[in-house]
Chain A
């Protein structure tokens, strides 16, 4: 809570103003009830017309003041809430954008999304509704109670005497509803699985007559659901009934006891009317307070979860730049690296060199450490032992921004931004011209874009539903090519393409305009067999390296992998 206030800075005045408006509204509520009673007294007591008129006029002023105060309270609280939220989410975004790879590795993206949606929404409710409401409701209850006790303590006590008992009964009645709700949800989930299967297996279900079986299962889930629902209905009806009693009892008591007091001249009729107006506010501490406090607690916890995002570790800034004329351009020297939190090292004593302008393939079984090489090269992680040098300088000394300017990466997932294709390509080099974008798309074999509804201005869509995996990979490739960086890193960048397309893409890249250094992580060996050097990984280590011919001759792991892949492949129909 304190941290939330600190984040709000100068906005806190908006919140204070909202609170003042809330206090005013509370006072107005009690005053209005009092004046209502006074007016009633004037009418029944046959006061002179001008006295009555004055009381009614005062009452009108108080009602209008109360309405205005409520309006201001809502307005100010909402303005505070919106501005605070905007401030929070922008600060969080800035932290996330500059977060280190390690930090993003530990934070699941769904977790961040849930904090930025669900938890931030709770913060909104907390500052916009619940805290102001807590202030107004509890203050009104205190004021009403004080007023009533001052005027007639006996009537006040008797009117709320039964309320705690009824609340206790209703909490008892509500208890079985939780498990019943869970049960009905589970029944519906079960039924929904059947529907899902009926849709997913529609062909077979129809062809093999399985629909009857599915329908039977679905109906039996619904039977359970109905049983649980009816049990809940019985409980709910009882709750309705107690709820009705809860709202009626204080009135009945005020009328019965109050009427008797009036006859004994212990109470004015007008006061009774004022009591009727106020008696509901008294039940707030019993009825609403526990729920509201629980909610505020939960929401404060949600606020803490949002604020935690402000502590996401950031990537380092600053550093030096290497010399791109150094030979070898890239060098791994006895690199050993373990991902944070993993028991086993991903790379063990890995050494290899890449000369400037060479095209090198990294091959090996999945999980053997090839992709990790890419992560180390871009300075995402630092090895625990040994060093990774680019242009003669270790990646720990490089300025990360400068290091990444000389590299272009295509990763396996082909992540694209939810934007037009052109925008995605341009994100590779923000000052690229339209012609450069078209050229990059062409080089990356993206002829398909001309067939899309809006050509290269077509949006890739959230999760890229409209594009195939291979199309996404080629757009990601165009984004890397437009960067025109001296080093190109391909991390299974063409895994979703078919053989022929992959050959074309590789031909286009390796034919590049000048001597680009390429490191390609590849699964399909036929794709990379013509490259300058092939580094074979096995279980985190470099097992062998050399050209395709030499490696086949050596008859080691590479030769085995080659013959295995040959056996498995079948004509693609």
Chain B
């Protein structure tokens, strides 16, 4: 029942292609059935003509044969085009919906999925559904309209013979049914053993240095032989089942044989049965095809439905709300200018321990706050909450007295410029990357921002300047260059509050200097929250917050905190410095 619903939902993506697609699907089955019915009729006429030596009837049947050929050729052209085009248009709608969902679901939902998993749902599962639209549906239509129709037709022509061929074909089909389970099981097992053998090979080649240095040749070969033997075992078994299943390949011959054996007796008593027997012979192929392909259709449907479940699961994720709902027991806040966080708590899942526990602080307009502490302490989570990317469990965030719950998220976010640790650029022109999601402010402003971000010079050295298209994930730029583009984007946004996640990875000395200078320009006169890794950045902050285990453990200026002999901040600064004690005078 569930799979029926999923099937219908997949087909509902046809949208404006619905008429075309349905006419294609139904049409292909009808053409199939029509050709078979007409062929059967023509064969009956032909046989009758021959038996009665009626050249007129014979001529008529020959004309009919030629007519069927022409009809089929033209009809297939039309319905085939409707089917394939309809399927492509339907697939396009599904693909559009896929990205819409990926870009609109809350960040927390997106993070539940492995990025590779989403790619695989798009790359493999959506592609499989594309095949479902084009091929599975075609087979379904051929079997359900063409195949079942032919069975009905056989029964109409002569119910006893129709019953005979249908039951003969179905018996032969039923004999192979018990093979299908083991066949599938062993095919799967063989596949996994094969993957295991490949894994072993990969280990042998990638670890060849270790294999040689530790004299492990015989050890790895022994492991390999075990997997290889298991693969061979599964492969040999699979060969047996597959060969047994091949008996269905000749099903048509057996059914014809049964029909002729029966027909020979019948004609001896009732000569007028002959033309009908000829018509039935024509239908044997279609009837046996119905049974022999039924199992492959079912297998195929199963595979495609599994893909459907994986895709629909993602498509069913609810989108981010337009405005964050106010958590219970959170009242209107009264806070002054600047950014203020009050009693903020957050947990990744409802049942888990809080990732942030009642965090409160405020940053006055134009001031700078630095956040330090061990990784996993909650610094990045705090930033995501401030941006409204996660939904707080309790507490509130305000900017200039207005709380996050009072704004639509898009408006709320426009108050922030966010520079992440790993600068994100997308494969478009440098210009488009700096402009980001804003309306185009004009080349002059973009260049001014690039200048202030120390990015203009290197941009002008790119092959097409600002119109240079960046490669996938900015592979043609260095880390420092990407960061300066992100800084230019933030400068252009000119948002009142800056959220800066300082990069940990060290850049080369020259880049480092350029980026630092650009960051100084960016922080100038802005309310700034920075996740800091550099001592210089930390020392310059008006207040330092030490976050550990989701709690604010210490806060104060550098001087205050260093005065605290046993404090975590002081320990952090000292262990950091320990490894790099100044060189002895030389």
Contacts and interface: CB of A to CB of B under 8 A. Distances in A.
Contacts of A210: 426, 436-437
A202 B373 CA distance: 24
A559 interface: yes
Interface stretch (B74-82, B173-181, B289-297): B74-82
A192 B260 CA distance: 57
B410 A569 contact: no
Contacts of A240: 76-77, 80
A42 B118 CA distance: 65
Contacts of B265: 49
Contact of B532 (A53, A59, A81, A573): A573
Contacts of B274: 43-44
Contacts of B235: 78, 81-82, 85-86
Interface stretch (A248-256, A351-359, A504-512, A539-547): A248-256
A97 B210 contact: no
Contacts of A146: none
B493 A208 contact: yes
A337 B265 CA distance: 91
A219 B420 contact: no
Contacts of A211: 103-104, 437
B257 A113 contact: no
Given A74-B243, A82-B236, A97 B211 contact: yes
Interface in A173-219: 191-215, 217-219
Interface string B551-586: 000000000000000000000110111111011101
Contacts of B272: none
B217 interface: yes
Contact of B268 (A49, A245, A400, A552): A49
A570 B219 contact: no
Contact of A44 (B51, B58, B98, B198): B51
Contacts, number: 400
A36 B110 contact: no
A147 interface: no
B215 interface: yes
A552 B583 contact: yes
Contact of B437 (A96, A212, A244): A212
B253 A565 contact: no
B6 to A, nearest CB: 22
Contact of B243 (A78, A218, A415): A78
A93 B196 CA distance: 14
B161 interface: no
A66 B384 CA distance: 70
The secondary structure that dominates the B interface is helix
Interface in A540-573: 549, 552-553, 555, 559, 562-563, 565-566, 568-573
A500 B231 contact: no
B473 A200 contact: yes
Interface stretch (B85-93, B144-152, B327-335, B453-461): B85-93
Interface stretch (A99-107, A153-161, A389-397): A99-107
B53 interface: yes
Contacts of B89: 226, 230
B197 interface: yes
Nearest to B204: A96
B397 to A, nearest CB: 14
A209 B490 CA distance: 12
B77 A208 contact: no
Nearest to A379: B212
Given A116-B201, A256-B66, A315 B212 contact: yes
B418 to A, nearest CB: 4
A56 B260 contact: yes
A75 interface: yes
B213 A407 contact: yes
A149 to B, nearest CB: 23
A52 interface: yes
B33 interface: no
A194 B77 contact: no
Given A78-B238, A215-B99, A263-B53, A60 B257 contact: yes
B576 to A, nearest CB: 3
Contacts of A203: 107, 384, 387, 389, 418, 420, 424
B37 to A, nearest CB: 14
A405 B61 CA distance: 88
Contacts of A526: 579-580
Interface stretch (B220-228, B338-346, B347-355, B518-526): B220-228
Contacts of B576: 569-573
Contact of B84 (A66, A113, A237, A252): A237
A569 B534 CA distance: 9
Interface string B225-255: 1001101100110111011101101100110
B246 to A, nearest CB: 5
B263 interface: yes
Contacts of A44: 47, 50-51, 274
Given A203-B384, A256-B62, A411-B210, A195 B80 contact: no
A483 B238 CA distance: 43
A372 interface: no
A5 interface: no
A201 B420 CA distance: 10
Contact of A71 (B76, B104, B247, B533): B247
A183 B74 CA distance: 28
A209 B238 CA distance: 54
Contact of B123 (A192, A405, A408): A192
Contacts of B573: 571
Interface string B170-206: 0000000000000000000000001001111111111
B264 A42 contact: yes
Interface in B435-476: 436-438, 472-473
Nearest to B377: A573
B102 interface: yes
Contacts of B132: none
Interface in A368-396: 378, 380
B209 A415 contact: yes
B394 interface: no
B110 A202 contact: yes
A49 B264 CA distance: 8
Contacts of B534: 570
Counting chain A CB atoms within 10 Å of each CB, the highest count among B49, B80, B438 belongs to B80
B359 to A, nearest CB: 18
A109 interface: yes
A207 B389 contact: yes
B167 interface: no
Contacts of B72: 244-245, 248
B201 A206 contact: no
B436 A195 contact: no
Contacts of B384: 203
B424 A233 contact: no
B110 A104 contact: no
A428 B42 CA distance: 79
Contacts of A297: none
Interface of A: 32, 36, 39-40, 42-44, 46, 49, 52-53, 56, 59-60, 63, 66-67, 70-72, 74-75, 78-79, 81-83, 85-86, 89-90, 93-94, 96-99, 101, 104, 107, 109, 112-113, 116-117, 191-215, 217-219, 222, 225-226, 229-230, 232-234, 236-238, 240-245, 248-249, 251-252, 255-256, 259-260, 262-263, 269, 315, 378, 380, 400-401, 404-405, 407-409, 411, 415-418, 427-428, 430, 462, 479, 483, 499-500, 524, 526, 549, 552-553, 555, 559, 562-563, 565-566, 568-573
9 contacts: A43-B264, A59-B260, A104-B208, A206-B389, A207-B387, A259-B50, A259-B61, A555-B586, A563-B583
* Closest A-B pairs by Cβ, 8 of them: A571-B576, A78-B239, A209-B437, A237-B81, A201-B424, A75-B243, A233-B84, A82-B235
Given A116-B197, A234-B85, 12 more contacts: A43-B263, A72-B243, A219-B96, A229-B92, A233-B88, A238-B77, A259-B49, A259-B61, A559-B586, A568-B509, A570-B533, A570-B576
